[in-house]
């Protein structure tokens, strides 16, 4: 690669962070590596299951993305609004950033609206706020019936369901709550 290129990584989840760290490790310091995420922190998703039953506090499973700076990776907290491929630019809610190379690692989003009524009638453990909400609810409503809703028979959904059941069973054990599939 020629000198002084800017590589922009969109998304500061596990994929974006690993990509940025690897790029930084392999490229000379004359190249810029810049990561953009709308959140100021990285959250470790697998531990949401422990937040949900009170085994972890949210702050323990989150790390500030600005810590990347000490590894030579620039961090911008901003919402990516558009990628203008023909101009090699990313437009965020704050600025327009030029890039030479782009890594897109913005993950996937839950779309509960696809199932009418689901968003209003359920809690999600796909966000840290949702995991905290579940914890507060099952703590306050011991003896209640818990229904787990998941879609499809993809291996990921099945594995997650098994772990979810395991966590909840441990938590509600002895409190008289029942888990329904």
Ligand X SMILES: Cc1cc2nc3c(=O)[nH]c(=O)nc-3n(C[C@H](O)[C@H](O)[C@H](O)COP(=O)(O)OP(=O)(O)OC[C@H]3O[C@@H](n4cnc5c(N)ncnc54)[C@H](O)[C@@H]3O)c2cc1C
Smaller CB separation from ligand X, 28 or 179:
179
**What is the C-alpha to C-alpha distance for residues 165 and 149, in angstroms, rounded to an integer?**
11
**Two tokens, residue 126:** 């796909």
Smaller CB separation from ligand X, 1 or 84:
84
Sole binder of ligand X in the list 9, 48, 51, 75 (CB under 6 A): 48
Instruction: Tell me the three state secondary structure of residue 152.
Output: coil
From 42, 34, 119, select the one nearest 80 (Cα to Cα).
Answer: 34
- The size of the interface with ligand X (CB under 6 A), counted in residues, is 22
Instruction: Tell me the three state secondary structure of residue 143.
Output: coil
Question: Binding mask 5-34 vs ligand X (x if CB under 6 A, - otherwise)?
Answer: ------xxxxxx------------------
Smaller CB separation from ligand X, 1 or 81:
81
Q: What is the DSSP letter of 149?
A: -
> Which distant-in-sequence residues (6+ apart) come within 8 Å of 2 by Cβ?
none
Sole binder of ligand X in the list 38, 71, 139, 178 (CB under 6 A): 38
Smaller CB separation from ligand X, 49 or 97:
49
Q: What is the DSSP letter of 178?
A: E
Contact positions vs ligand X (CB under 6 A): 11-16, 36-39, 45-46, 48-49, 79-80, 105-107, 125-126, 160
């Amino acid at each position: 690669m020629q000198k002084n290129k800017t590589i922009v990584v969109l998304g500061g989840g596990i994929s974006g962070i690993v990509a940025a760290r690897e790029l930084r490790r392999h490229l000379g310091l004359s190249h810029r590596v810049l990561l953009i995420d709308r959140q100021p922190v990285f959250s470790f998703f697998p531990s949401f299951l422990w937040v949900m039953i009170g085994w972890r506090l949210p702050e323990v499973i989150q790390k500030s993305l600005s810590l990347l700076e000490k590894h030579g990776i620039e961090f911008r907290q901003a919402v990516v609004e558009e990628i203008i491929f023909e101009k090699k630019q990313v437009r965020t809610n704050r600025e327009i950033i030029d890039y030479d190379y782009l890594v897109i690692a913005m993950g996937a989003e839950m779309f509960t609206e696809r199932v009418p009524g689901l968003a209003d009638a359920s809690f999600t453990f796909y966000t840290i706020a949702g995991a905290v909400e579940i914890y507060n609810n099952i703590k306050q409503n011991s003896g209640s019936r818990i229904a787990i809703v998941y879609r499809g028979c993809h291996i990921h959904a099945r594995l997650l369901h098994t772990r979810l059941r395991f966590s909840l069973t441990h938590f509600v054990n002895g409190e008289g709550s029942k888990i329904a599939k």
